Structure 1
Amino acid sequence: MRMLMLKPLSWVLPLVLLAPTAPAVAAGTAPAATSWTLPGVGDVGASVESADGRLRLRVSSGGTEALSVADLGLVTSTTDLSKDLTLRSQNHRTLRTAYRMTTGKQRERTVLQEESRLTFSNPSGAQLALVVRVSDDGVAFRYELPGAATVQRETGGFELAPDATSWLQPYNPQHENEHAEATAATAPTGEFGHPALFRRGSTYTLLAESGLDGRYSGGRLTHTQGSGRYDVRLADAAVASTGVTSWRTMIVGDLATVTGSTLVDDLAEPARFTGTSWVQPGLSSWSWLAENSSPRDFERQKDYVDAAARNNLSYVLVDEGWSPVWLPELTRYARARGVEVLIWFHWTNLQTQAQRDEWLPKLVAWGVKGVKVDFMESDSQARYQWYDAILADTAKHRLMINFHGSTVPHGLARTWPHLMTMEGVRGEENGLNATRNTILPFTRNVIGSMDYTPTRFATASNPKPQTTNAHELALPVVYESGWTHIVSTPEELASQPEGERFLRQLPTAWDETRLLSGTPGVETVIARRDGARWFAGGIRSGTGGTVTVPLTFLGGTGRWLVEIVTENQGALSRSSAVRRAADRLDLLVADRGGFVLQACPYSPGLTTCDKPHREPPRTSVLVDVSADEVATGGTVELQGVFVARTGGSVRDLALAPELPAGWSVVAGKPVRKSLLREGESVSGRWTVKLNPAGVRGDVELVVAGTYTAPDGRRIHSADAARVFAEPLPPKGSTYVSDQPWTDETNGYGRPQQRDRSHGGDNEPATLSIAGKTFGKGVGSHAPSSLTTWLGGACSRFFAEVGVDDGTTTGEGSVTFVVLGDGRQLAGTPVIRAGETAHLLDVDVTGVKRLTLATTDGGNGKNSDHADWGTASLTCAP
């Protein structure tokens, strides 16, 4: 959205919608042809016309029609509201709004929209309101019904000039196909995802959706080759609508207008909460793409933390494979280095309210700041209802969130300010493609933050001929993402010192964004401002050459220090010059190359725009406890020692316990120290109590020192002592899946599943062995282990075990083992896929810890989906 100079509210006069092509008619009489010109904004205009009771919306830019939408309307389960429509009423209002984003191409947004509402009825008396909003960067419409209804389909079709150039992405639920260039008519028959880009002359049109949540269903575009028409198909055959659809959004104008548009956010609902100081965009180190196995490696993750600390990256993202055994320790290590931790989840592990209630408080207790949730891969209403639920829950726990394997943005980042980014793109993890890179700034990234996972530098052992190092360095500027996950290894980053230096300075949320030049599929040059500093990046897809960069975006008449990073035979190098806004740069880039620059106001003697970066002092906390096991109502003595080791003094230190929920300090107070110099230490001692509602199992009693580092940051340095808090024993007849687990490991992918199979999303969720299904039990993948506390209160364990029917190959083979307090109580021979369930009926009298384990059957773990059907306990009442 371009910034507008708005006139006072008294300037707004009542507007009458005109019908220039036909006289007014009595209500209830359908005219042969009537049109209504709607109030426009700037160069953008719109009109609605009715011909024989069918509606069409026309959209213009600069006085020329950009597209129209024919056959507007809905079909519900009870009526057809797409034909024989008669105007019943019309009204208009001017909307002026201002809001602030935590992420995005422009933090502060000022919006002017002209809204027209035309209400129609069909011969049966059913009513449909067509609501149209016109802004200076496009037009949007939605349908509103008098009440709830089951929507079966939308009938409106977007009609583009047949010869308009198109850049379309064949639809799939994860939105990860490549864009293909064609024309509106010659594009193949099929389904295409939002957003869809078209160009006729110098006017571009981007089709998108906005205001889409669990009250409606996601849409895609359908097309028949030879036609310029694109219809909407909903993901669900029947949508339980509250009576309001999502916004069909048409961004129109020149390429700069489309690229800079905020229309999708402008149409979305306002923020659900204020007080966003805990929401922090930033760069993140991410190891999975370069080293798939590294998220399972605690020591290797520490290397990524160290690289993040060295390079001023705010976060480290620990992807699939992390273990709850060591993740709290990694989080403490990272936070002491000034780095926060984000962790990956398969969405099915946060699918239910119970799962979220279990995991989210635990993450907060560990010090995790956000989650990446993956593999949703659906545009259905049910999936959007899940998005609504997890957004509300993570906001409640002050956890930021990234949706990966997801739909595309629909304005949710305005409604939920802690939503930092979404994938919905064929990103760098799908391979390098310079042509793709120069299309995405004008398509997917227009509508919201894009989790592309860019910037892997080439080395001698990892050459990347598809792009260059300068091209890769430019991507975090060319692309906007509240969290930007850098995929270079620590060693690859260190191989390019000027790349590291530039990344240390780079923000990920912006005050202003401008397209400097570009052609989809060929070249993109974008400038973004953060405060007084400008950053710009440029990329090309084909043959190298000179890229001209006008510096007019700097503005004013003063001088600017401009620092430029380019590339020579793979090595990034930096140069600088003092320039004015009237100047231009002519930069030579390589084939599929790029460049970046940083600019700041110049004053005599200034040699760099860099803000100083200083790593926090090296500190440590030592923790000791008086006992390693505690029962309900019991206490332990907790001691903590904070040591300032190297790297400078710490100020305003507060040393205190951070206890699990339901624990309390019954003696001792925080220790405070205004100044602690290198080599000095301070200690504290506390008595802590396990209350009846306290967290149990293997818990960590943390002592943390929070202090102010020399650069002004508040740093959290902590360590913990492990204590086993005896859980309350089970009572009566119960199921293992209903009990807390004190320990759990799994052989592949997601953790073990309660009352559902471990298989993939396309496999049946019901536990099933040789055709016999189980409503209760545990789904695992060998080798696996889970432990639950019996406390000597139970006498019998029963289960029917076998390989889950979701295993489609003959490879599945598993053995099952039951252990009590580490001693084997029962076991099975190797059980293979398709074999009937084996019965386990085990005496567990006196057992405190019950462990259920599986092995891979001796032929590897492929397809070893193991089910503990029923898995029940008989315990004292």
Structure 2
Amino acid sequence: MAVPIRTAVAALCASLAAALLTTAPAQAEQHDQAWSLSAGAHAPRAQVTLDDATGTLSLAVSREGRTVIEPSPVGIVTERADLSEDLRFLHRKSRTVQERYRAKSGKRLDRLVRMNETRLSFATAAGARVDLVVRASADGIAYRYALPAGSGDVLGETSAFNLPADAKSWLGTYRVDNEGQFAQYTASTAPTGEYSDQALFATDGGYTLLAESDLTGAYSGARLAHTQGTGTYRIKLADDRVKSDGPLVTPWRAMVTGDLATVTRSTFTDDLAPASKVADPSWIRPGTVLWTWLAGGREAGQSLTAQKAFVDYAAQRNWPYEAVDAGWYFKTDEWDTTDPNWQTNSWMPELVDYARAKGVGIIVWIHQRDLDTPEERAQWLPTLEKWGVKGVKIDFMNSEAQPMLQWYDAILKETATHHLMIDFHGSTIPKGIQRTWPQVMTLEGVAGEEKRTNTAAHLTTLPFTRNVIGSMDFTPGAFQRVGLRPNSDAAEVGLSVVYESGLQMFAGTPESYEARPLARAYFDQVPAAWEDTRLLAGEPGQEAVLARRSGERWFLGGVYAGAARTAAVPLALGPGRWLMETIRDGADGLVQDRQVLRGGDTLSVDVVANGGFAALACPWRPGLTTCYR
């Protein structure tokens, strides 16, 4: 039957339009194929290009026509095929991802996910297959590889990120415990070496934080390898060979991008991760914690009497948890785990019962080597649950290699079964883990309060790097460490808000809190779960002022590096009048100021060198004199 002319013309126009949208020649004589993906007019845009001459793939990111990431190599190599070159395009499949979920902790509890996804399928001449899956949201671009069964072990990725040579860069030297300090360079002048994949760059397209999501024992952790003099940062895996005996989907290579406020507020790495695997999360409760390690050391951990005194103080302050750190089960005069009756001989059940009667939950420290095998976990985890322990602080994993990631897979499932919250130390960084396993309340993976070499610049960089991707157990509040920390007392109070952690561990001694009643009273108010987060002012390495909301109240924290100043903070909390109660450094210690300001006004705070402040804001009404409860 003859096709009507009008129908044929319409079909031809549609096919030409589709070709224009998905294909763009790189040179007149070479017709490279290109595919574009974005979530909206003002959102970042990914462009994947297949070079017809070499069969290599690249990915570039822009925002409103400005460079975010320059064209960067994309590819993966297995023992059976090099899937980084000689590729030919097979087909494209697209969909929209829309999800709602509620977190137990983080920058905000209610999350709405809207992403566009495209899956581009490629093959080599020999028939080896790889799919490149790309997602785009309002605040990020991400991609991953999907390999069919029979692809064999992975030998590495050719994935890399090309940045303009002069792009400002904030990088942390890679360590297996992710505790490298952040320093500022340009993309090309950073020394040759390996860096954490939580790297922040500033280009004319805005700020971009590199990250990873949905990392499990099916793969290997990534770091960035860089050679000085270039703007290229290559993905290097922790393993030379990643074992795979079936279909494989790799972790997401994520780029959180936008202005600095967008990056800081982003939950993109959580949004990319699989949905929660905990059917009933009602037992998971974030909260503030009296941490006894910097307050009392191993000696306190070995003493039931000392721990009861800490519980008494937590109860007096209405802090919901007390954490017993190292020493409580290591060969003390009372008992040790080499004794076959160690569970019976432990004083921990007595402490848990004592704390429970006072409304305080107990969290206990355990070395990873004591949870390494299924048999050890079967000994420890049910026992802790039976005692009534609320959570475990597991330490010294110090690896992101595949075998250790498989251990994470096991411990996550088993702690959920035994209703134990987790604080990982000496660990990987979040990478979406808190969405999938919400009992993970926080992770270290940071040069935190224990370090004696931290700088004020490092402290003001963390809100824009490490803490963007998930809860961070920095352990603020160690007022007794005067001379061992680079900041002022008011800045130390502000860290309880600037740094988000589902278990916010206060590292001070009771005596140091009693000597600073304004800090103590503020800590009494601070929650560990937030309904909203906003960046009020910031520049990595110089200043960070964040506001976090709980109910109708906003908590503000500010930290600064450099000389004393009068800080000017835009009060972007909403319309109306606000009662502001601000804690700052005075000549003889902490002082508090009260004033009523309108939303949109500027809050002025006198800040000492390397100082900061904390504040509490609530809607003002006649007769209201304080936001404290």
In the superposition, the TM-score normalised over structure 1's length comes to 0.65
Contact 1:304–1:489 (8 Å) recurs in 2: no
Looking at structure 1, the residues matched to 313 and 230 of structure 2 have their Cα atoms a distance apart, in angstroms, of 53
Three-state SS of the structure 2 residue aligned to 1:456 is coil
| Residue identity opposite 1:45 in structure 2 | R
Match of 1:276 in 2: 281
Which of 218, 222, 226 in structure 2 is aligned with 1:223?
226
Looking at structure 2, the residues matched to 269 and 250 of structure 1 have their Cα atoms a distance apart, in angstroms, of 18
Looking at structure 2, the residues matched to 487 and 36 of structure 1 have their Cα atoms a distance apart, in angstroms, of 51
Contact 1:468–1:570 (8 Å) recurs in 2: no
Relative contact order higher in (CA < 8 Å, ≥ 6 apart): 2
Give the C-alpha shift of residue 338 in structure 1: 1.3
Looking at structure 2, the residues matched to 39 and 590 of structure 1 have their Cα atoms a distance apart, in angstroms, of 44
Looking at structure 2, the residues matched to 88 and 599 of structure 1 have their Cα atoms a distance apart, in angstroms, of 57
User: Residues 340 and 465 from structure 1, CA distance in 2 versus in 1: closer, same or farther, beyond 3 angstroms?
Assistant: closer
Map 1:310-709 onto structure 2 (within 5 A): 310-323=316-329, 325-431=346-452, 432-458=454-480, 462=482, 466-553=486-573, 555-556=574-575, 558-569=576-587, 571-611=589-629
* 1:218-255 deviation digits (Å, cap 9, x = unpaired): 01111111111111111111112341100000111111
Three-state SS of the structure 1 residue aligned to 2:122 is strand
Contact 1:205–1:252 (8 Å) recurs in 2: yes
Give the C-alpha shift of residue 75 in structure 1: 0.5
Match of 1:120 in 2: 122
Match of 2:66 in 1: 64
Looking at structure 2, the residues matched to 527 and 579 of structure 1 have their Cα atoms a distance apart, in angstroms, of 15
* 1:25-63 deviation digits (Å, cap 9, x = unpaired): xxxxx9652212224333211111111211111101232
Map 1:156-175 onto structure 2 (within 5 A): 156-175=159-178
| Residue identity opposite 2:491 in structure 1 | H
* 1:571-595 deviation digits (Å, cap 9, x = unpaired): 2222222222132211101111111
Give the C-alpha shift of residue 446 in structure 1: 0.4
Match of 2:271 in 1: 266
Contact 2:207–2:258 (8 Å) recurs in 1: yes
Q: Name whichever structure is richer in strand by fraction.
A: 1
Looking at structure 2, the residues matched to 584 and 224 of structure 1 have their Cα atoms a distance apart, in angstroms, of 44
* 1:170-215 deviation digits (Å, cap 9, x = unpaired): 1111011111211111111111112011112471111110010111
| Residue identity opposite 2:278 in structure 1 | F
Looking at structure 2, the residues matched to 569 and 269 of structure 1 have their Cα atoms a distance apart, in angstroms, of 51
Looking at structure 2, the residues matched to 506 and 199 of structure 1 have their Cα atoms a distance apart, in angstroms, of 32
Looking at structure 2, the residues matched to 466 and 58 of structure 1 have their Cα atoms a distance apart, in angstroms, of 39
Give the C-alpha shift of residue 406 in structure 1: 0.2
Looking at structure 2, the residues matched to 405 and 69 of structure 1 have their Cα atoms a distance apart, in angstroms, of 35
Which of 188, 197, 202 in structure 2 is aligned with 1:194?
197
Match of 1:859 in 2: none
User: Residues 303 and 55 from structure 1, CA distance in 2 versus in 1: closer, same or farther, beyond 3 angstroms?
Assistant: same
Three-state SS of the structure 2 residue aligned to 1:198 is strand
Looking at structure 2, the residues matched to 160 and 22 of structure 1 have their Cα atoms a distance apart, in angstroms, of 23
Match of 1:33 in 2: 32
RMSD between aligned alpha carbons?
Answer: 1.8
Looking at structure 2, the residues matched to 206 and 260 of structure 1 have their Cα atoms a distance apart, in angstroms, of 12
For structure 1, list consecutive stretches of 5 or more residues without a partner in the other structure.
1-13, 24-29, 612-877
| Residue identity opposite 1:433 in structure 2 | T
Looking at structure 1, the residues matched to 347 and 138 of structure 2 have their Cα atoms a distance apart, in angstroms, of 52
Give the C-alpha shift of residue 407 in structure 1: 0.8
| Residue identity opposite 1:38 in structure 2 | L
Looking at structure 1, the residues matched to 66 and 412 of structure 2 have their Cα atoms a distance apart, in angstroms, of 41
Contact 1:469–1:570 (8 Å) recurs in 2: no
| Residue identity opposite 1:496 in structure 2 | R
Match of 2:239 in 1: 236
Match of 1:44 in 2: 44
Match of 1:308 in 2: 314
Looking at structure 2, the residues matched to 172 and 550 of structure 1 have their Cα atoms a distance apart, in angstroms, of 37
Looking at structure 2, the residues matched to 592 and 510 of structure 1 have their Cα atoms a distance apart, in angstroms, of 27
Three-state SS of the structure 1 residue aligned to 2:179 is coil
Three-state SS of the structure 2 residue aligned to 1:552 is coil
Give the C-alpha shift of residue 458 in structure 1: 4.3
User: Residues 76 and 69 from structure 1, CA distance in 2 versus in 1: closer, same or farther, beyond 3 angstroms?
Assistant: farther
Three-state SS of the structure 1 residue aligned to 2:487 is coil
Three-state SS of the structure 2 residue aligned to 1:428 is coil
| Residue identity opposite 1:596 in structure 2 | A
Three-state SS of the structure 1 residue aligned to 2:350 is helix
In the superposition, the TM-score normalised over structure 2's length comes to 0.91
Give the C-alpha shift of residue 69 in structure 1: 4.9
Looking at structure 2, the residues matched to 78 and 466 of structure 1 have their Cα atoms a distance apart, in angstroms, of 52
* 1:623-674 deviation digits (Å, cap 9, x = unpaired): xxxxxxxxxxxxxxxxxxxxxxxxxxxxxxxxxxxxxxxxxxxxxxxxxxxx
Looking at structure 1, the residues matched to 549 and 277 of structure 2 have their Cα atoms a distance apart, in angstroms, of 27
Contact 1:56–1:68 (8 Å) recurs in 2: no
Contact 1:420–1:481 (8 Å) recurs in 2: yes
Contact 1:482–1:509 (8 Å) recurs in 2: yes
Contact 1:115–1:133 (8 Å) recurs in 2: yes
Contact 2:24–2:31 (8 Å) recurs in 1: no
Aligned residues: 588
Give the C-alpha shift of residue 143 in structure 1: 0.4
For structure 2, list consecutive stretches of 5 or more residues without a partner in the other structure.
1-14, 330-344
Looking at structure 2, the residues matched to 39 and 601 of structure 1 have their Cα atoms a distance apart, in angstroms, of 39
User: Residues 563 and 171 from structure 1, CA distance in 2 versus in 1: closer, same or farther, beyond 3 angstroms?
Assistant: same
Looking at structure 2, the residues matched to 547 and 458 of structure 1 have their Cα atoms a distance apart, in angstroms, of 26
| Residue identity opposite 2:567 in structure 1 | V
Q: Name whichever structure is richer in helix by fraction.
A: 2
Looking at structure 1, the residues matched to 178 and 84 of structure 2 have their Cα atoms a distance apart, in angstroms, of 30
Three-state SS of the structure 2 residue aligned to 1:438 is helix
User: Residues 59 and 463 from structure 1, CA distance in 2 versus in 1: closer, same or farther, beyond 3 angstroms?
Assistant: closer
Match of 1:289 in 2: 294
Looking at structure 1, the residues matched to 205 and 449 of structure 2 have their Cα atoms a distance apart, in angstroms, of 30
Contact 1:98–1:111 (8 Å) recurs in 2: yes
Looking at structure 1, the residues matched to 317 and 426 of structure 2 have their Cα atoms a distance apart, in angstroms, of 28
| Residue identity opposite 2:48 in structure 1 | V
Give the C-alpha shift of residue 147 in structure 1: 2.0
Match of 1:256 in 2: 261
Which is further off, 538-547 or 237-246?
237-246
Match of 1:299 in 2: 305
Match of 1:855 in 2: none
Contact 1:375–1:405 (8 Å) recurs in 2: yes
Bigger Cα Rg: 1
* 1:713-772 deviation digits (Å, cap 9, x = unpaired): xxxxxxxxxxxxxxxxxxxxxxxxxxxxxxxxxxxxxxxxxxxxxxxxxxxxxxxxxxxx
